[in-house]
């Protein structure tokens, strides 16, 4: 049997280093936007008088918008040109960031976050699709590894930068300075990509499945909105009805996708693509990883600031060891992946579980007297384990579709990523907030969440191991 993680192609490349750097910088922005907000949530809540449910929605609304439109944007890029969609998405991202920066109320901020998320959806799949279509062999593998590391590091980097900006309070802007920086970064990425990245598109354009996109949007809203708002509103009847409606909504979406493909159309998520065993395993891995990671990053920001009374800067710096772990993985990961294949990913899950257990011990033993240094070891271990899982994960999923449909493969993976990041913030965040308001307190709640995330990682290890018996 051939190891899915060690298959290679003849080395070649047609993407200049400057172009790859520009693309990776562009891919940082949507993830930075997701995670920079986490560390600023307490400040936003104070300034805009937002409750915990509204703060979760600030994170979730962005994730819903991105997840809903990613596959559509991937399809549009395949048909009309990936560079064109990328530049348009960056322009919208800049405008939405400016609106967020000067939002006078939480609802204006929420609307602007939806626009920002829709714009980000046009950016991310074009980056990964451009790498897939313009690079091959070892160059493509390294490009996708760098994309994975950029996404992983951006999570920790986002909260570090967010903490620096909130603490520094430049020009008296406080949390609003985060969106000013995002707008400037988007403008810089737009200029760099316009100057260096060639345009690509599929040989044949496919009609966008608007009905499928609408059904996906309805399904995500039915799932994520009650999970985000239910606890704060004491779970009124509509939240339970909304969750119950998810099952028929998923069934209707699946039925539409099957009928569209049988009729020779281009469905949003072709069932034939999901027939690849490695694709299914990869998506299960993605669900486990990104739901856990999104929930953890949301919870950690609240626990360190509201529970341990760290400043936004201290809370952000607590994630620096995690970023270092990802960075070290970037350097050594590709070589280890070629040598050990699936075994490296399995070990990654186990290492990550160990990091979560160490964090739970620290929370129970030290809380609330925790510092950046006292949390450094658990965070470093979590970063190591997460990097060993995330970097190969992208290649597993995207490699299951031909280069002509690179936007489709990228869109499916990234839709899963963004959906699960928002789902993690909603579910894990709700569980944490519920426990934090009991005698468990913030420390006990963080420990309980960490143990649950460790258990999830352990469960994912044998699922990942099934890739050993998967044919390419």
pLDDT band at 410 (very low <50, low <70, confident <90, very high): low
Instruction: Tell me what pLDDT residue 129 has.
Output: 79
pLDDT band at 251 (very low <50, low <70, confident <90, very high): very high
- 3-state helix vs strand vs coil in the chain, percent to 5: 80, 0, 20
Distance of CA 48 to the CA centre of its chain: 26
The full DSSP string for 375-434 is THHHHHHHHHHHHHHHHHHHHHHHTTS-GGGHHHHHHHHHHHHHHHHHHHHHHHHHHHHH
- Nearest-angstrom CA–CA distance, 367 and 349: 26
pLDDT band at 82 (very low <50, low <70, confident <90, very high): confident
- Nearest-angstrom CA–CA distance, 11 and 136: 6
Instruction: Tell me what pLDDT residue 177 has.
Output: 94
Question: Does the pLDDT value for residue 413 go beyond 80?
Answer: no
Count of beta carbons in the 10 Å neighbourhood of residue 225: 19
Distances (CA, A) of 12 to 68, 138, 146, 396: 34, 8, 17, 20
Instruction: Tell me what pLDDT residue 323 has.
Output: 83
Instruction: Tell me what pLDDT residue 3 has.
Output: 44
Best CA proximity match to 450, nearest among 374, 381, 348, 392: 381
Question: Does the pLDDT value for residue 370 go beyond 90?
Answer: no
Question: Does the pLDDT value for residue 358 go beyond 60?
Answer: yes
Instruction: Tell me what pLDDT residue 1 has.
Output: 38
Q: What is the pLDDT of residues 119-177, one digit of tens each?
A: 998 888 888 778 877 777 677 767 777 777 777 677 778 878 888 888 888 988 989 99
pLDDT band at 402 (very low <50, low <70, confident <90, very high): low
Using N-to-C axis directions, what is the helix angle for 441-465 and 277-302, rounded to 10°?
Answer: 170
Mean pLDDT of the region 451-459: 95
pLDDT band at 272 (very low <50, low <70, confident <90, very high): confident
pTM above 0.85, yes or no: no
| Contact (Cβ atoms closer than 8 angstroms) between residue 312 and residue 305 | yes
- Nearest-angstrom CA–CA distance, 21 and 147: 10
In sequence order, which residues have a C-beta less than 8 Å from that of residue 174 and are 6 or more positions away? 43, 47, 166
3-state secondary structure of 13: strand
Least confident window among 193-207, 227-241, 245-259, 396-410: 396-410
Question: Does the pLDDT value for residue 242 go beyond 60?
Answer: yes
- Nearest-angstrom CA–CA distance, 469 and 261: 28
Mean pLDDT of the region 441-463: 92
Environment class of residue 222 by beta-carbon count within 10 Å: exposed (0-12), middle (13-18) or buried (19+)?
buried
Best CA proximity match to 297, nearest among 414, 411, 370, 386: 386
Instruction: Tell me what pLDDT residue 408 has.
Output: 64
Mean pLDDT of the region 345-363: 93
Instruction: Tell me what pLDDT residue 274 has.
Output: 75
Between 268 and 408, the more confident residue is 268
Least confident window among 32-36, 140-144, 452-456, 461-465: 140-144
Instruction: Tell me what pLDDT residue 472 has.
Output: 45
| Contact (Cβ atoms closer than 8 angstroms) between residue 309 and residue 367 | no
Instruction: Tell me what pLDDT residue 203 has.
Output: 63
| Contact (Cβ atoms closer than 8 angstroms) between residue 101 and residue 179 | yes
pLDDT band at 360 (very low <50, low <70, confident <90, very high): very high
Instruction: Tell me what pLDDT residue 418 has.
Output: 75
- Nearest-angstrom CA–CA distance, 5 and 339: 10
How high is the mean pLDDT of the chain?
A: 82
pLDDT band at 18 (very low <50, low <70, confident <90, very high): confident
Q: What is the pLDDT of residues 45-62, one digit of tens each?
A: 889 988 777 787 887 788
| Contact (Cβ atoms closer than 8 angstroms) between residue 286 and residue 413 | yes
Best CA proximity match to 326, nearest among 355, 360, 285: 355
Mean pLDDT of the region 187-199: 90
């Amino acid at each position: 049997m051939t190891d899915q993680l060690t298959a290679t192609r003849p080395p070649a490349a047609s993407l200049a280093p400057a172009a790859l750097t520009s693309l990776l910088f562009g891919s940082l922005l949507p993830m930075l936007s997701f995670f920079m907000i986490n560390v600023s949530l307490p400040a936003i809540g104070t300034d805009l008088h937002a409750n915990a449910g509204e703060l979760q929605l600030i994170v979730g609304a962005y994730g819903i918008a991105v997840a809903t439109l990613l596959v559509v944007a991937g399809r549009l890029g395949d048909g009309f040109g990936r560079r064109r969609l990328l530049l348009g998405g960056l322009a919208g991202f800049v405008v939405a960031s400016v609106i967020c920066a000067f939002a006078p109320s939480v609802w204006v901020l929420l609307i602007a976050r939806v626009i920002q998320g829709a714009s980000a959806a046009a950016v991310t799949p074009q980056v990964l699709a451009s790498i897939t279509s313009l690079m091959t062999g070892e160059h493509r593998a390294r490009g996708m590894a760098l994309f994975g590391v950029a996404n992983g590091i951006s999570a920790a980097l986002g909260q570090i930068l967010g903490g620096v900006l909130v603490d520094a309070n430049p020009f008296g802007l406080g949390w609003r300075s985060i969106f000013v920086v995002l707008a400037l970064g988007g403008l810089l990425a737009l200029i760099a990509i316009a100057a260096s990245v060639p345009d690509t598109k599929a040989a044949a354009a496919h009609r966008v499945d608007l009905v499928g996109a609408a059904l996906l949007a309805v399904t995500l809203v039915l799932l994520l909105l009650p999970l985000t708002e239910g606890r704060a509103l004491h779970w009124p009847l509509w939240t339970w009805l909304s969750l119950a409606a998810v099952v028929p909504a998923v069934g209707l979406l699946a039925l539409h996708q099957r009928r569209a493909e049988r009729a020779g159309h281009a469905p949003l998520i072709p069932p034939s693509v999901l027939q690849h065993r490695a694709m299914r395993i990869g998506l299960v891995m993605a669900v486990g990883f990104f739901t856990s990671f999104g929930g953890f990053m949301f919870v950690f920001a609240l626990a360190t600031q509201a529970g341990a009374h760290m400043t936004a800067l201290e809370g952000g710096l607590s994630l620096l060891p995690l970023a270092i772990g990802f960075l070290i993985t970037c350097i050594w990961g590709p070589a280890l992946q070629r040598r050990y294949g699936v075994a490296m990913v399995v070990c990654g899950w186990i290492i990550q579980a160990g990091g979560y257990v160490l964090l739970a011990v620290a929370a129970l033993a030290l809380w609330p007297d925790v510092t950046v240094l006292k949390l450094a070891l658990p965070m470093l271990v979590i970063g190591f384990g997460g990097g060993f899982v995330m970097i190969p994960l992208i290649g597993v999923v995207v490699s299951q579709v031909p280069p002509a449909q690179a936007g489709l493969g990228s869109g499916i993976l990234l839709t899963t990523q963004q959906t699960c990041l928002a789902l993690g913030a909603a579910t894990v965040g709700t569980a944490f907030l519920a426990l934090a308001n009991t005698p468990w307190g913030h420390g006990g709640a963080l420990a309980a969440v960490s143990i649950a995330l460790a258990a999830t990682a352990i469960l994912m290890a044998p699922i990942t191991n099934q890739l050993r018996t998967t044919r390419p």
